[in-house]
Amino acid sequence: MTTHDDDRFMDEALALAEDATAMGNVPVGALVVVDGAVIARAVNLREILQDPTAHAEVLALSAAAQKLGRWRLEDATLYVTLEPCAMCAGAIAQARVGRLVFAALEPKTGGVCSVHRIVPEGVTQVTRLDGHAPRSVALLQRFFEALRARDGKNGGSQWGEVAELVEGA
């Protein structure tokens, strides 16, 4: 079930993803919303921090918990541009996030519905915004094409597979 604010918040998460690209990080943006207000924002910072856990979702959940002074986020909605990986899905489950909204599927490491199903049904409501998936996929494709061009590598990309899934949805 989508709400009238889902598009607006996902647009903001996608703008954050674009910021991540500008910093040389995989373009994923996340924000945490409580009572219609954004209380935390984050982008992937793995490259900048050289930290394998510095995913946008984990950073946003941590910032939200700090701001609220509690780790249980049952009243929060997490918006993220890409289906969370297993690590991030575990963090979502541990934080008891009330609602997760994401755009694009992650067919290789998705922790919500593509590969694993880590987010507990009945605790976290999951919504996929198919209409925003093409923009998220395009950001990912451009990022990885630029990375391959910089590194002199050719070859396929998992995001071509995602684009096919999105188009077929």
| Catalytic residue list | 57
Tell me which DSSP letter residue 120 carries: P
User: Do β-strands 29-34 and 125-128 pair in parallel, antiparallel, or remain unpaired?
Assistant: unpaired
Structure token digits, residue 1: 């079930």
Chain CA centroid to CA 32, Å: 11
Burial of 165 (0-12, 13-18, 19+ CB in 10 A): middle
- Cα three-residue angle 163-120-74, rounded to 5 degrees: 105
Neighbouring residues of 125: CB distance < 8 A, sequence distance ≥ 6? 1, 98, 99, 100
133-151 vs 158-168: helix crossing angle, rounded to 10: 160
Chain mean position to CA 153:
26
